[in-house]
Structure 1
Amino acid sequence: MVDTNADHDLIDEPQGPAESEGQAPTLKAFSLLQAVARSERPLSMAELSILLGMPKPTAYRIARMLERDGLLEREAGGRRYVAGRKLLGFAMEIVTASVRSAPRHAILETVSRQLGETANLGVMVANHVVYIDRVESAWPFGLRFEPGSRVPLHCTAMGKLFLSAQPRARQEQILGKVPLERYTENTITDPQRLLRELESIRAAGLGVDNQEFLAGVVCVAAPVVDASGATIAAIAISAPQARMNMNQAVQHAPLLRAAAQRLAETLALPAPERLAPERQTEAPPAPRPRRAARRG
């Protein structure tokens, strides 16, 4: 079994023929960042080495360099790697710029115009939901959140939708780290009750916020799913409860799901190679030596 937790101070070794003839250093660094970004959980050095087919000393050297530059971080209290704040910020700048100049913004405008309410597009970044685009309603009373704004996971429609798509172990891990702050009387702060809520949301395929984040405001969200079936974003509508109650908001699910499908088509992302959450990473078995054939 490979030691997936120990990251020893490895000495840089001279590059052998296979390494020197392989990817350029820049491409190796990009491949490592891509593996971390695509994974559904933090990755250890041994897992990165195996996933990338890269010698562990090389992977370690590149990871340490990326960590110093803020592109990678160690998970809290552990040695596995996650995307760093600098990388997340860079990614958000790219996504926000592309969204606002692409057909995706027009889809949000159409949803907002059809329902007369605010339409949002968001992604899960670390332990928050980040708005990457938003079209405000034409009503005088509006909820003013700019693209790039962060909102909690545990009490928002998009946040609970993202959480519901995670494996149960990952849900418990996130809820154990994120403070379940009470924002309104309706905010769910009990972890077990929230886990049951996530089961219902996963079954329905629709996230709901019944005045849990902002008093007097309801929200419903549908997932934007990529070619691999992973939830990569969410589209949501939010409105004052005085104009749209929770039952009325849920009735707009077909329109939201249709918009989510159109958004997924604009993304046109190929199915990424993901490391399964429950996969046990082991070293490949050593080849058995072949016996020399006997000569008669």
Structure 2
Amino acid sequence: MHDDSSPTEKTIPTNLRLLLLLEELAKVGVPTTPTAANEILRLPKPTIHRLFHTLEQEGFLQRDIDGRSYAPGVRLRKLAGNVLSTSRVRMIRRTILQSLAEDIGETCNIAMPERHAMVYLDRVETHWPLRIQLPVGTEVPFHCTASGKMYLSSLQPRLFAKYLSVVTLDAQTAHTLTDPDALRAEVETIRSQGYSTDTEEFMEGMVAVAVPIFDSEKRLMSTLSVHAPTQRVSLSDLKFHLPRLKTSAAELSELVLS
């Protein structure tokens, strides 16, 4: 009898297929179809579609806007955040963040992109009594924060154009960029300079600077930022610390990949 099973299928134990599929989806980093993923895994078509269906049903994947591709779902994104917060990683991460905050003298944050906002994963507060309270777990918009605009600059132009076509750029302050063309120009500047800023766009009296934290594929994984009240510092004051921010971001990237 002819056996039409692929050689790869025979070498992948059943209990590893879901994990290898998730690994491949994370590596690709963009919404992916079962057919595209199967170019690597080489499983029978019914098998790969069944795996995608199971992951979607359980909340690890969700359909993208085109109805054919799949992106990380809520459970997979929470899993990624929990992995980054394991005790060993979090202890060293806090040490790096604490050292940075003490050197700069202002509050420093790590934020991760969710589907609709940036979410603060970790932060170290300034010692100054005048501070801006944005605790861990706070969600902040993409279009008017340093971390959010840093993330938008990492999107492929096609995806960023799609974002601009559907999003409502709500004004948080008088300085918020609510015109799509103005935000597009800002994001192009961020792409070229490698850092982003917030000049009282999210909150009156607050300025911020953010840099990317990259994964092993040199894609933005999260952001590292510093923010402070304008009563104490200017945006130029914060930009002075960009070399220190980038060094810490590189250390955080190495921590996750080690």
Q: 1:96 to 1:177 in 2, by over 3 A?
A: farther
Q: 1:182 to 1:97 in 2, by over 3 A?
A: farther
1:83 aligns with 2:107: no
Shift of 1:189: 1.4
Shift of 1:253: 0.8
Does the CA contact (< 8 Å) of 1:37 and 1:82 recur in 2? no
Q: 1:232 aligns with which of 211, 218, 221?
A: 221
SS in 1 for 2:99: helix
Partner of 1:152: 141
1:163 aligns with 2:152: yes
SS in 2 for 1:264: helix
Unaligned runs of 5+ in 1: 1-13, 270-296
1:174 aligns with 2:163: yes
**1:116-135 mapped onto 2 (5 Å cutoff):** 116-135=105-124
Name the aligned partner's letter for residue 161 of structure 1.
M
Does the CA contact (< 8 Å) of 1:73 and 1:84 recur in 2? yes
1:220 aligns with 2:229: no
Single out whichever of 232-241 and 219-228 deviates more from structure 2. Answer: 219-228
Shift of 1:15: 8.7
Does the CA contact (< 8 Å) of 1:127 and 1:178 recur in 2? no
CA distance in 2 between partners of 1:25 and 1:177 (Å): 40
The TM-score normalised by the length of structure 2 is: 0.91
Cα offsets for 1:16-50 (capped at 9, x unmatched) = 47476331223111112222223232111211211
CA distance in 2 between partners of 1:232 and 1:98 (Å): 19
CA distance in 2 between partners of 1:170 and 1:98 (Å): 35
Instruction: Give % identity.
Output: 32
CA distance in 2 between partners of 1:68 and 1:260 (Å): 36
SS in 2 for 1:94: helix
Partner of 2:231: 242
Name the aligned partner's letter for residue 108 of structure 1.
L
1:115 aligns with 2:117: no
Name the aligned partner's letter for residue 228 of structure 1.
E
Number of aligned residue pairs: give it.
256
Q: 1:199 to 1:22 in 2, by over 3 A?
A: same
SS in 2 for 1:119: strand
Cα offsets for 1:218-265 (capped at 9, x unmatched) = 000112223432222221100001111112111111111111122222
SS in 2 for 1:101: helix
CA distance in 2 between partners of 1:17 and 1:236 (Å): 48
Q: 1:198 to 1:28 in 2, by over 3 A?
A: same
Does the CA contact (< 8 Å) of 1:96 and 1:133 recur in 2? no
Single out whichever of 130-139 and 14-23 deviates more from structure 2. Answer: 14-23
CA distance in 1 between partners of 2:239 and 2:61 (Å): 39
CA distance in 2 between partners of 1:96 and 1:239 (Å): 25
SS in 1 for 2:85: helix
